[in-house]
Amino acid sequence: MKELATGMYKILGEGAFEYLAKAQAEERKGKNILHFEIGQPDFPTPDHIKQTAYEEIKGNYTGYVSATGILDLKQAIQDEIEQTRGYRPSIEQILVLPGAKPGIFFTMLGLVNPGDEVMYPDPGFPTYGSVTKYLQAVDVPIALREKNQFKLDPTDVENSITPKTKLIILNSPQNPTGSVMTKNRLYQIAELAEKHDIYILADEIYSKMLYEADFHSATVLDEAKERTILLDGFSKSYSMTGWRLGYLVGPETIIEKMGLIMINALSCTTSFVQKAGITALKGDQQPLEKMMAAFKERRDAIVKGLNTIPGFSCLTPQGAFYAFPSIKETGMNSREIADHILYKAGVCCLPGSAFGPNGEGYLRFSYATSVENIQQAMKQIKESFD
Ligand SMILES: Cc1ncc(COP(=O)(O)O)c(C=O)c1O
């Protein structure tokens, strides 16, 4: 059999799915497992959003629609960006997509050639490194350090810039650490990108999921017109992971070309899902507020609990719904600990190393579960080390 395309030997999977499979294997043996591995809110999609989808399906709004997104959703996104980022993009700057992930894939497909260098946070969302490898580009992971509260340091970015640097991927609030970038740091990086003629992809999928910190976007400086590309979506804020809806806002010329990728790869994003997206943005925001209040209570419970386990120490994350405790003092590596916790404590979390080499020495807990489950899990973990 002839070889596959070179990139196919380089593309990687995701640790979350590997550990979910391990946990499910335990469940099949009759064990009870408390789940902290998957990054998905445990709240249902709000009723008013579902209602729009039912009505659109009943009204037969089920055919192909514009490849780049329907106009009324793009207008809702214009309003949304104006309210949350302070600038109003043109309709031509917006590309609606089935989820945020294709926004990462399409942006990289559209900008990155083999041999180009791509910078991204480490630990970070695994797709960034995986797609870089798939495209035969060069990974330049930038270490996030606990002593900087896991915020990307502009000096580290500057020191890693070469003439081959093509793209810097930012992510704030961040997966897996829950860190939130300050305006100052983001703007410094955006200025570096301008000085050295580099593109920025700002993955802002957790933009509505903050606790004490304020949200800032690196795309404000050029209003996503020159070199910055904003990525956001509905999966997390509106509990719509399975619906698949996200969007990019970027320079018109790039968005136009990515629209061609859409035509060739997907034709369009599901029609009635886009209508539901309008309801999500324009409708009642109380479900989001209630979810964030619950997440804050859970965050406080998990951070408190993790800090009582010998050898564990956990910073208080400022955004998203992940806790990222250090386990360095235990003397075990992150896979050993994650396996120990799964098999001895019946709790499934992820090894930090699933998010890059700098995630070694940490675990990721997605606290998309009740306070009772969190407290029970912490008790079981503690007891498993006795
Ligand atoms: C940082 C980050 N970007 C993008 C995504 C993908 O979101 P979606 O499910 O909308 O494709 C995730 C999901 O976990 C994420 O954590």
CATH number of the domain encompassing residue 314:
3.90.1150.10
Candidate of 105, 169, 205, 229 to mutate for ligand 1, largest count of ligand atoms within 8 Å of Cβ: 205
62-101 per-position pLDDT tens digit: 999 999 999 999 999 999 999 999 999 999 999 999 999 9
pLDDT at 17 over 90: no
Whole-number Å distance, alpha carbon 209 to ligand 1 midpoint, is: 13
**Percent of the chain residues topping a pLDDT of 90:** 97
pLDDT at 103 over 90: yes
- Parent domain of 27: 6-44+286-384
Distance CA 383, CA 386 (A): 5
Whole-number Å distance, alpha carbon 310 to ligand 1 midpoint, is: 32
176-196: burial string, b at 16+ Cβ within 10 Å, e else = bbbbbbeeebbbbbbebbeee
Domain boundary, last residue among 233, 252, 282: 282
Which atom of ligand 1 approaches the CA of 39 most closely? 14
pLDDT at 322 over 80: yes
* Same domain for 230 and 276: yes
Whole-number Å distance, alpha carbon 68 to ligand 1 midpoint, is: 20
pLDDT at 15 over 90: no
How confident is the model at residue 239, as a pLDDT? Answer: 98
* Ligand 1 site, residue 241, Cβ cutoff 6 A: yes
- Is-above-0.95 flag for pTM? yes
How confident is the model at residue 246, as a pLDDT? Answer: 98
Does the residue 1 lie in any domain?
A: no
Q: What is the mean pLDDT of the chain?
A: 97
How confident is the model at residue 18, as a pLDDT? Answer: 87
**Total number of domains constituting the chain:** 2
How confident is the model at residue 14, as a pLDDT? Answer: 81
* Ligand 1 site, residue 103, Cβ cutoff 6 A: no
* Same domain for 142 and 72: yes
In degrees and rounded to multiples of 5, residue 213 shows phi and psi of -80, 160
31 CA to centre of own chain: 30
pLDDT at 359 over 90: yes
How confident is the model at residue 16, as a pLDDT? Answer: 80
